[in-house]
Homo-oligomer: A and B are copies of this chain.
Amino acid sequence: MKLSARNQFPATVRVVTEGAVMSEVVVEVDGGHELVAAITAESARRLGLAPGKRVVAIIKSTEVILATDD
């Protein structure tokens, strides 16, 4: 499967916090950055997300904001 989404980062699940509707999933992107995803709790269950599970974090380019220091 090839996705139009430009940003796809292989990562490992570190922490899953489950709510009634949404779950927060903290993953560690290969190379060391931590990344947080808020997905439905149902999706987290369906994908079997748990610490150690390998995933890909996908982000569409229109969702990225850039900032400068000055």
Interface residues on A, range: 35 or more
Chain copies in the assembly?
6
A53: min CB distance to chain B, Å? 7
Task: Write the chain B residue with the least CB distance to A32.
Answer: B31
A4 touches B63 (CB 8 A): no
Residue in B35, B66, B70 whose CB lies within 8 Å of A39: B66
A65 touches B3 (CB 8 A): yes
A43: min CB distance to chain B, Å? 4
Chain A residues within CB distance 8 Å of chain B: 1-7, 9, 17-25, 27, 29, 31-33, 35-40, 42-44, 46-49, 53-70
Across chains A and B, which 9 residue pairs bring their CB atoms closest together, nearest first? A19-B20, A19-B21, A37-B64, A63-B63, A6-B36, A4-B43, A58-B65, A38-B61, A36-B61
